[in-house]
Amino acid sequence: MLTRISLVLAVLAALAVGAVNFFVVKDKINALVTDRNTNRDGWHATQAQLAQTNKVLIATQGELKKTQQDLADTQTERDKAVANSTAQQKRADQLADQLTKTTQERDDAQSGLQAYKVTGFTPEQVTKLSRQLKDTQDLVEVGKQEYAVLQHDRDRIFTRLQLYEGTNTDVLLPAALKGKILVVDPKWDFVVLNIGDDQGVKQDGELLVSRDGKLVAKVIVRTLEKDRCIANIVPGWKLGEVIEGDEVSPAHPAT
């Protein structure tokens, strides 16, 4: 009997404990379900917010791309406007210069016209006088050139006459005359110089050959041309080898 009572009590205690555990577990399950629902609702809300944010972001990126394109187009238009402005300014400067030049030419023409009026001559008469003056100036220039040629010939003849008469054995050459040796013939001891009659060289004129400021030889002109001459090395005056590029200067410069 006592054993049966103990078993009944044990069963009742187990049922009581099971009932308590059931209510405790149920509360925990309900709490877990509530947390799960809360988290699920929050996740859905977050997903919706993320989708909205993505939508706004895509729209913002589109606006940014459009803004960047508009900025590029604006910069291109600005560059075109600056280039056009520069071209217009250059054109304006050119027109201003042309206007100044035209104004000056007009003023000069008016001054020239006034000068014509003061002289009392007609434009035709002034043109004729100007032509006559030009012809006279040309004749004077020709006369100067002919005089220079005659003077040159006179000096050359006078020099030759002095040599023949023995009154002067030195042929005077221009003091500023300078030249160089172009060709050297060591076998026959003659040289070709880059100076001639046009530079004031005279027949039988003597020139000193030097290199680096040192005397090398003396030559005498035997063949005279317009812009060059041929000279022989004077015996006894060859102090060294004459080479191309050596400088020459008058042995007897005119004072």
Domain positions in the chain are 1-117, 121-169, 179-250
pLDDT higher than threshold 70 for residue 227: yes
Mean pLDDT across 51-63:
81
Average pLDDT over residues 211-225: 94
Q: Letter for the amino acid at 221?
A: V
Rounded CA-CA distance 91/104 in Å is 20
Residue 90: what are its φ and ψ, rounded to 5°?
Answer: -60, -45
Distance from C-alpha of 105 to C-alpha of 107, rounded to nearest angstrom: 5
- 83-92, 153-162, 217-226, 236-245: the lowest-pLDDT one: 153-162
- The tens digit of pLDDT for each residue in 74-112 reads 788 778 877 877 888 888 788 878 888 888 887 777 776
Compute the distance between CA of residue 4 and CA of residue 13 in angstroms, rounded to an integer: 14
Q: Which fold has domain 179-250?
A: Thrombin, subunit H (2.40.10)
- The predicted model gives 10-34 an average pLDDT of 65
The predicted-structure confidence for 145-203, as pLDDT tens digits, reads as follows 765 655 556 556 655 555 555 545 678 899 999 999 999 999 999 999 999 999 999 98
pTM, entire model: 0.39
Is residue 129 helix, strand or coil? Answer: helix
pLDDT grade, residue 116 (50/70/90)? low
